[in-house]
Each structure stands twice: as structure tokens, then as C-alpha cells.
Amino acid sequence: MIIEKECTNCKEVQNVSFFHRKLSSPDGYSPWCVSCRKITAEQQLVKTGKQCSLCGKFKLRDKSFTLDARTPDGLRNSCKSCDVEMKNRASSYKEDPVDYGRIIEHFGLSESMHLKDSELVSRWNDETDLSLPRESDKDKPLLNVVTGAPV
């Protein structure tokens, strides 16, 4: 029974515990060590896989990305797990609406000015570094988006 083996890729002699079992091999172990196999698998994934535009990870094209006829390669630019996370984040905003009254108060506007909600949010984002006020945060101070500190 062998205790050490030389990797045919990196040429390092290592304990056999660093090699996958391969019953079809004469010595019962893979010719490459686990580290070399992992590096090769990652390189192959970079070549044949696709990088998610949100998380930046390379993933399998056919299993990790949803079909999308509008893109050049026929797949969405974000992976399925990021899509689920974005969908969950979006649904949480529906449950916690924007506090438009607080925006109007912050700018010193009158209720009779009849600005659209989208115009109020756009002005808020353009003119402040504060997080968008939510109904659930009525009693909390506004937070600076950059520093996260209360204002």
C-alpha cells in the first residue's frame, strides 16, 4: 500500500490523502492531486462558464442562468441565485413603502405642489446622500448612504 504519490501535474510528492480515489488507476488514486484538479476545474469553468454580473462568480451556463432571448448569448446576465435575492429584496420594498411625507417635510414643500412620487424620489436621490425614508422607520433618524451614520 502506497503512502505518498507524485502528482503528474505539479510534480510534488504528497500523502495519498491529497489525491482522489480512482479505482481504474493502477495504484487506485487519481494522477493529479486535489489542488491541481481544483485549479483545472476552475480554469475550465472560466472558459466554458459564464460570470454573473451581480456576484462576479463564474458558474455553469446551463444550470445557473435563466434563458433570456433579449441577450446576445440567450442567457440572463445575473445567475439564478442572485435573481432570487434581488426578487426577495424588491418584495421587501413593496412591504415597506416610501415615507413621502418625510421627503416633503425635508424639502419644505407644501402638500399642494402635486409632485409625482417618482419626482420626489428622484429629487431626494439627486440632492441628498440620505437613505430613502420608509414607513417603518418613522421614529428613526435618516442615515447617510455613504457612511451609514445617522443624520
Following DSSP, what letter does each residue of 37-83 receive, concatenated?
A: HHHHHHHHHHHHSEE-TTT--EE-HHHHS-B-TTSTTSB-SS-HHHH
Spatial separation of the C-alpha atoms in residues 17 and 21, rounded to whole Å: 9
Query: How many residues make up the chain in this entry?
Result: 151
Q: Which CATH architecture has domain 1-48?
A: 2-Layer Sandwich (3.30)
Please tell me whether residue 29 adopts helix, strand or coil conformation.
strand
pTM: 0.40
Residues of the chain with CATH 3.30.60: 1-48
- How confident is the prediction along the chain (151 residues), in pLDDT tens digits per residue? 789 999 999 999 999 999 999 999 999 999 999 998 888 777 776 777 888 998 988 888 888 999 998 988 888 999 999 999 888 877 766 677 888 888 888 888 876 677 788 888 888 888 888 888 888 788 888 887 777 778 7
pLDDT confidence of residue 97: 80
Spatial separation of the C-alpha atoms in residues 22 and 10, rounded to whole Å: 18
